[in-house]
Amino acid sequence: MEVRRIAGALGAEVLGVDLAADLSGATVAEIRRAFLEHQVIFFRDQALSPAQFMAFARRMGKPVEYPFVKGIEGFPEIIEVKKLERERHNFGGIWHSDTAYLAEPPMGSMLLAREVPAAGGDTEFASQTLAYESLSEGMRRLLDPLVAVNSSAKADVTRTREDRVKEQGGETKSYVAEHPVVRTHPETGRKALYVNLAHTVSFKDMSEEESAPLLQYLFCHQVRSEFTCRFGWRVGSLAFWDNRCTQHNPINDYHGQRRVMHRITLAGDKPR
């Protein structure tokens, strides 16, 4: 097994591993170390059935159901993330951390490419530990005690999932959760920014208007190019990202083409 970095900030490809195989405990531990070190890891040419995809996910964490989209037949924890030729919006097409509006947001997510466009459809990732660590000491002191209010009903992200929600009968519930603006990773101990453009609406005990200037600064700062990597998909590519310290953005540059992915979400804990 070889781990090869793809950018200076975060991200690495893991080579020489067949995820359909019965992985040894040592291999699982090595993959987990790479995940924690690089924050997002990528595998190529993984011809996984849904059952094999689920088996690998269970070696890494506890798969859970996504709140807005039903799972594929026989696998409620595997959702189909797709954009069809006629559609203009892509699923989750905005910089975000997954489901920050839940009381216990995911530890991580896995995405497996089933169909990809001839060109386009890459995904960007951004390290929120680097985003936090690059702030001035004064800004870190200001942010450390703050709490953010996150909502699933924020307009921009609602548009990015509306096709899938309509397809399955409509959205029935909105979620709101309060989390630290700066969270401490429970495994590495590193601090990371934990606000995002898609879900964060304000700071606790402040109005949206009062919160907006600082939030807008953070939304721009936390996805600066030097904090990012970019991954180009092929059929059989798999990405596994740490939702506690990264954000991601699926680029919507393939109108008229089809892109179909399978995603598994892994249970997390309450940010602290």
Query: Which CATH number does the domain housing residue 72 bear?
Result: 3.60.130.10
Closest C-alpha among 63, 64, 59 to residue 21: 59
CA distance 62 to 268: 8
Q: Which amino acid is at 33?
A: R
- 156 inside domain: yes
- Tracing tokens 């011809």 back to the chain, one arrives at 47
pLDDT (0 to 100) of residue 172: 62
- 272 inside domain: no
- 241 inside domain: yes
pLDDT (0 to 100) of residue 58: 97
Q: Which residues are catalytic?
A: 96, 98, 248, 263
- 197 inside domain: yes
Closest C-alpha among 141, 100, 116 to residue 265: 100
pLDDT (0 to 100) of residue 164: 47
**Run of H or E including 81:** strand 78-83
- 271 inside domain: no
pLDDT (0 to 100) of residue 173: 79
How far, CA to CA in Å, does 251 sit from each of 78, 82, 150, 233? 22, 13, 23, 11
Task: Give the domain range for residue 105.
Answer: 2-266
- Pairing verdict, β 259-266 and 63-64: antiparallel
- 165 inside domain: yes
pLDDT (0 to 100) of residue 169: 52
Instruction: Walk along the chain (272 residues) and give the pLDDT tens digit of each residue.
Output: 999 999 999 999 999 999 999 999 999 999 999 999 999 999 999 999 999 999 999 999 999 999 888 999 999 999 999 999 999 889 888 999 999 999 999 999 999 999 999 999 999 999 999 999 999 999 999 999 999 999 998 855 555 555 545 555 555 678 999 999 999 999 999 999 999 999 999 999 999 999 999 999 999 999 999 999 999 999 999 999 999 999 999 999 999 999 999 999 999 999 99
Query: How many domains in the chain?
Result: 1
Beta strand ranges found along 153-223 (DSSP E): 176-180, 182-184, 191-193, 200-203
Alpha carbon 117 to its chain centroid, in Å, reads 21
- 218 inside domain: yes
